[in-house]
Amino acid sequence: MSTPPSDDELWQAFVEAERETIRRRADFSNAARDRPGILRAALTAGAGPWQRRAALDFLAARSDDVPALLEELVDLSLSHGWAPAARRAIAGLPKDDLVPLLAPLVLEHLDTADDDEYLRLVELLVHVGAWDLLGRLVARAPVTDDPDTREAADDLTESYSPMWRAETD
């Protein structure tokens, strides 16, 4: 019968696994010939959750490929399960670079978004501090047929309008 590992041994094994992950991340980043292609494939539902999680973690740590994958990341930000990791990856880009790329993708989603997707887009914009874009999103809500979206927009205007008004001043 073997003795279970001590807490210190468990910790040291965890630290070594983290060290190995960082080495492997650097190898992939520096040597892969088609990083965006590999990452795009990993972000699809067919790739499986471990592939998707690894791709999102990679993108959160190294944002070089985020612009090429922003459409996929915005789509994932609408998912309850993947939204936090997708937002972290998106937020790795500097705001001044991100907002012009993000605006058309977010506004395009509004044409078909239900109230839940609308709120996921709001969460994304709040997470990255895109206040002016949030104001534009909220301004479009009153023309929707969905009463839940209109109600959410009213609540958001009350909560966040000082932020987007301050950004445009």
- Tens digit of each residue's pLDDT (9 = 90 or more) over 52-109: 999 999 999 999 999 999 999 999 999 999 999 999 999 999 989 999 999 999 988 8
Q: Where are the domains of the chain?
A: 31-93, 99-169
| Angstrom distance (rounded) from CA 54 to CA 12 | 22
Q: Are 163 and 137 in contact (CB under 8 A)?
A: no
Burial category of 59 from C-beta neighbours within 10 Å (exposed 0-12, middle 13-18, buried 19 and up) = buried
- pTM of this structure: 0.84
> Which comes out higher in pLDDT, residue 5 or 146?
5
| Angstrom distance (rounded) from CA 82 to CA 84 | 6
Residue 155 pLDDT class (50, 70, 90 cuts): low
| Angstrom distance (rounded) from CA 115 to CA 11 | 44
| Angstrom distance (rounded) from CA 125 to CA 137 | 9
Please state the separation of Cα 39 from the chain's center in Å: 14
Beta strands in 26-157 (DSSP E): none
